[in-house]
Amino acid sequence: MDSARKGPAITARELTKRYGDVEAVRGVSFEVARGEIVGFLGPNGAGKTTTVRMLTCFLPPTSGTAWIHDLDVRERPRDVKRILGVCPQEDNLDPDFHVLKNLLVYGRYFGLPRRVVRDRALELLAFVALSDKAHAPIMALSGGMKRRLILARALLNEPRVLILDEPTTGLDPQARHAIWDRVRGLRAHGTTVLLTTHYMEEASQLCDRVVIMDGGTILLEGTPQELVEREVGRTVVEAWNYGEDFLNFLRALPGRLEELGGRLYFYPQEGDHIERTFDQRFPQQDRLIRRATLEDVFLKLTGRALRD
Ligand SMILES: Nc1ncnc2c1ncn2[C@@H]1O[C@H](COP(=O)(O)OP(=O)(O)OP(=O)(O)O)[C@@H](O)[C@H]1O
Ligand SMILES: [Mg+2]
């Protein structure tokens, strides 16, 4: 399949959503190429879910639009839904049906033969390690199990585009890694994935590209590695129990310094020799020198203060 000649899997143009006075999404435009895994990051209330809901035809945009492959979400919701797999942020499993039945009923919407739906449902239950719960009521599942079932459901129609809103929130490390594995496997077969996450490690490990949102707009996008190198550099120094001497020493070095709750964060412009310098000048100083991560980028862009 020559996907290079085809258009993007997802195209958003000036997507806007207003709830009364709140402008939750303010003219957001982006593209996701076919076969790409893109992560949407942003603090609580940034507008990620609102964007996702417009892309998946659950919410009409106030203005602007989006296309999934070349289908306009406003005009072709039924066709869009056919090629989409969706994992919403909230639990919308049907409490009246047991686990397997939730998948079987959902599968019917796609007009697939019963046999096919059943085979896929059983395979997906095995994948999310819920085979022994197939006949359990939804109520009897733990939070993480519900999440896994919702993910299984999103894969039932073998979607060309998967849109996952915090797919791994509340999952244990085993389940999270299994899901990363599956997502990578799907990408290898040409599936496009857009996911939101608050786990920066997940975004770094899984995503070809990340988009950072805040206040309903896109602040930045790029590959995790290029964002880290460009925005914060390679190295971070964290220090605690420090005195004026150490503080003044850092202030004189080129780089960015943040102080928060008795802890220092220093992002040196040139971090290569900093460890040796500290060993010589401040050997007793409590400190940690580590590689910069996407979390540092996120905190730099969106601040360290809590959001409502
Ligand atoms: N149905 C609604 N009615 C009114 N305001 C809403 C509604 N849904 C969302 N909002 C507001 O829109 C903004 C964006 O919310 P959204 O759920 O898109 O954020 P998010 O980035 O998904 O956050 P989180 O990380 O907490 O899931 C917030 O200010 C929120 O209060
Ligand atoms: Mg959300």
Q: Nearest-CA neighbor of 306 among 44, 95, 27, 92?
A: 44
Q: Is 49 in the pocket of ligand 1 (CB under 6 A)?
A: yes
Closest residue by Cα to atom 26, ligand 1, is 44
Q: According to CATH, what is the number of the domain 3-223? A: 3.40.50.300
Report whether 221 contacts 276 (CB < 8 A): no
Task: Give the distance (Å) from ligand 1 centre to CA of residue 180.
Answer: 26
- Residue 144's identity, in one-letter code, is G
Instruction: Please compute the mean of the pLDDT values over residues 193-203 and round it to a whole number.
Output: 97
What's the 3-state SS for the chain? CCHHHCCCCEEEEEEEEEECCEEEEEEEEEEECCCCEEEEECCCCCCHHHHHHHHCCCCCCCEEEEEECCEECCCCHHHHHHHEEEECCCCCCCCCCEHHHHHHHHHHCCCCCHHHHHHHHHHHHHHCCCHHHCCCEHHHCCHHHHHHHHHHHHHCCCCCEEEEECCCCCCCHHHHHHHHHHHHHHHHCCCEEEEECCCHHHHHHHCCEEEEEECCEEEEEECHHHHHHHHCCCEEEEEECCCHHHHHHHHCCCEEEEEECCEEEEEECCCCCHHHHHHHHCCCCEEEEEECCHHHHHHHHHCCCCCC
Q: According to CATH, what is the number of the domain 234-291? A: 3.30.70.2380
Q: What does the domain layout of the chain look like in residue ranges?
A: 3-223, 234-291
Query: pLDDT-derived band of residue 3, with 50, 70 and 90 as boundaries?
Result: very low
Per the prediction, the chain carries an average pLDDT of 94
Query: pLDDT-derived band of residue 5, with 50, 70 and 90 as boundaries?
Result: low
**Ion ligand 2 — residues with CB under 5 Å?**
48-49, 89
Report whether 131 contacts 118 (CB < 8 A): no
Instruction: Please compute the mean of the pLDDT values over residues 167-191 and round it to a whole number.
Output: 92
Strand duo 235-240 + 286-291: pairing: antiparallel
Instruction: Please compute the mean of the pLDDT values over residues 109-115 and round it to a whole number.
Output: 93
Q: Answer yes or no: is pLDDT of 2 > 50.
A: no
Query: Which pTM does this prediction carry?
Result: 0.93
Task: Give the distance (Å) from ligand 2 centre to CA of residue 89.
Answer: 6
Task: Give the distance (Å) from ligand 1 centre to CA of residue 50.
Answer: 6
Q: For position 272, what pLDDT does the model report?
A: 80
Nearest bound ligand to the CA of residue 211: 1
Q: For position 308, what pLDDT does the model report?
A: 67
pLDDT in tens, 11-57: 999 999 999 999 999 999 999 999 999 999 999 999 999 999 999 99
pLDDT in tens, 203-243: 999 999 999 999 999 999 999 999 999 999 999 999 999 99
Report whether 146 contacts 91 (CB < 8 A): yes
Q: Nearest-CA neighbor of 267 among 243, 295, 241, 245?
A: 295
Task: Give the distance (Å) from ligand 2 centre to CA of residue 137.
Answer: 26
Instruction: Please compute the mean of the pLDDT values over residues 254-261 and round it to a whole number.
Output: 92
Q: Is 47 in the pocket of ligand 1 (CB under 6 A)?
A: yes
Q: For position 6, what pLDDT does the model report?
A: 78
Which tokens go with 167? 């797919």
Nearest bound ligand to the CA of residue 45: 1
